[in-house]
Amino acid sequence: MADNQHTLQQLLEKLDALLQKQDSFAKEIEALRKEIETLKRNLGNKETYQANLSPPIIPLSPVPKIHRSVPAIVDPVVEETNFAQQKPDAKPLVDFNLESFIGENLSNKIGIIIIVLGVGIGLKYAIDHHLISPLFRIILSYLAGLTLMGFAIRFKNKYVEYSAVLLSGAMCILYFTTYAAYSFFHLFSFTVAFSTMCIFTVFTVLASMYYNRTIIALLGLVGAYAVPFLLGFHPKQYTFLFSYIAVINLGILALAVSRDWWVLKLVTFAWTWVIFIYWFAVYYFRQDDFGLLWFFLLVFFCTFYATILANTLVKPGKFAALNLFLLLFNSIAFFWMGYAACLFHPLGQHLLGLLALVNALIHFIVGYNLYQQNPEEKGNYYFIMVLALGFFTLAIPIQFDAPWVSIFWALTAGFLFGIGRIKAWSFWEKTAYVLMGLACISIAQDWLYLYNTYSSKFPETRIPLFFNSIFLSSLVFCGSFGFINFLHHHKLYRSPWQHDQDKNELLSFLLATLLILGIYFSFFCEISTYWIQAYKYTYSQHRAPGQTLPIIYSRLDLERFRGVWLINYTLIFCIFFGLV
């Protein structure tokens, strides 16, 4: 009897403890609900949603009666319910509020545009009607810009978006007021105007970091690039111009990398190369500007290369598609401008192969270091190594005046196909198929046009049999496609279309056909060119006295020999491949 009474007392104590905890949780939940409602009213949030914040109340079951007939009583295990970990079944839905978008986002941007236009229209009206002096006009414009800046600072804590838009408008007014003071009224010297706009640019960049808004940084960037041209900077004074752009790029790109603002990086990249390429195409003077061209070309190339790689080295991960495009364009622009500059330079025209070799070395060093930093991310490593291999394949053919385009496409296609098939990366293999098509078109053009350049009047144009650059490019083409066919039929390396028998068989047929045609026409063109050149060597015209038509001398039997040798070669080729 005493034991039963003791057990009953324990159960009642546990029940009281649970009831006290439930009351405590109910009070906390009610307090949280009231606090949420208060915050909603203070913030003026107009979004409507329903959420059941109070947890379900667990009904208390009656205490079971304990009978004396029970010989043994096992203490029940009471599980405490953790209400703090319970989550509502459904999340509150936040729908797009058109009224909030127009009132809080769109209207402030339209308003600042109206303010800027209003200041401009007001100034124009005052100028046209001579209401105020030029100095007073500039002072009023500066006051308008500074007033907007003051409001932007005033509203920064409560209305961040609105404050950022106000600051953008203020900087626009200050930029163009300085431009008007220098260009229209001649109140500022070039040094004062240039220094003032540089200060505005630095302030705008710092403000973009403080606000963490891309639009402000873009405004500072556009203003920075517009400063030299707004102030009438002459393109021939490019030393100072490009030095200014290089310094601006360092600051802007550092900001873009630290904040991961890809738009800023893209705009900086585009503006710099557009300005530099335009100057090179229009104002570049071959002799005098060669050294300084290379200096700024290296500065811009290295700056953008380092910027593109920064995210990968600091924050390991795959390149985005934009970074791959920028890296490829940056490399092509650097090589193309350097090649064009050296091509027409007395010393540089003998260093074209060295230029391609230096490009390959740069990409190889970067790719190797990238692999050492993060061996697991091999996609970036292989992409840069493709660039290194591509420029390396250009070096020797360019130096020796070979048809380097065909060699480049063929080797790059073979390399990408090998990487894609061995590493099972279908993207690289599919890219290789595109390059295979380009290689076929390029080698076909070599066969059609480069073999027909001989003229009997110019003996130096004679193409020696087999020992020529065209045949070398044909051998490289055949070797690359032979390597591709070897990998394609290897049992260890599967095709992306191995489960689609029709596509796989079609691919096998096309690859084998291209290899056979490449081998066939490589020797066919050599044999044909040999007899054509022999025929042209014997071809001559003589005009006898008193005759109007010239007498043509040639050995037509050489044309017949050409046909016979081509037929013999075709038969031998078919027999050989028939046996194989």
As to burial, measured by CB atoms within 10 angstroms (0-12 exposed, 13-18 middle, 19+ buried), residue 57 is exposed
Q: Which helix (H) or strand (E) holds 552?
A: strand 551-553
- The pair phi, psi for residue 553, each rounded to 5°, is -115, 125
Q: Pick the residue with more confidence: 114 or 576?
A: 576
The per-residue pLDDT for 76 is 45
Distance, CA of 112 to chain centre: 33
- 226-246 pLDDT tens trace: 766 765 656 556 777 787 788
In DSSP notation, 66-81 reads PPTT-S--PPP-PPPP
Intra-chain end-to-end CA distance of the chain, in Å: 104
- For the CA atoms of 217, 219, 224, 225, the dihedral, rounded to the nearest 10 degrees, stands at 110
How far is it, in rounded angstroms, from Cα 253 to Cα 266? 10
How far is it, in rounded angstroms, from Cα 305 to Cα 133? 50
The per-residue pLDDT for 42 is 67
Helices (H) and strands (E) in the chain, counts: 18, 2
- 58-98 pLDDT tens trace: 554 454 444 444 444 444 444 444 444 444 444 444 445 56
- The pair phi, psi for residue 542, each rounded to 5°, is -135, 140
- 493-542 pLDDT tens trace: 888 777 788 888 899 999 999 999 999 999 999 999 999 998 888 876 65
Q: For residue 115, is pLDDT > 80?
A: no
- What confidence category does residue 315 fall into, taking pLDDT thresholds of 50, 70 and 90? low
What average pLDDT does range 131-159 have in this prediction?
Answer: 85
The answer to whether the beta carbons of residues 531 and 565 sit under 8 Å apart is yes
Residues 6 or more apart in contact with residue 286 via CB below 8 angstroms: 341, 344, 345
The per-residue pLDDT for 520 is 96
- What confidence category does residue 345 fall into, taking pLDDT thresholds of 50, 70 and 90? confident
Q: Mean pLDDT, the chain, as a whole number? A: 78
Q: Pick the residue with more confidence: 515 or 132?
A: 515
Distance, CA of 353 to chain centre: 28
- The pair phi, psi for residue 56, each rounded to 5°, is -65, 135
The per-residue pLDDT for 331 is 92
- Per the document, the length of the chain is 580
- 375-397 pLDDT tens trace: 776 667 778 888 887 788 777 66
What average pLDDT does range 110-123 have in this prediction?
Answer: 69
Look at residues 382, 362, 244, 256 and name the one whose alpha carbon lies nearest to residue 308: 256
* Lookup result for tokens 């070897």: 486
DSSP bridge pairs for 542: 551
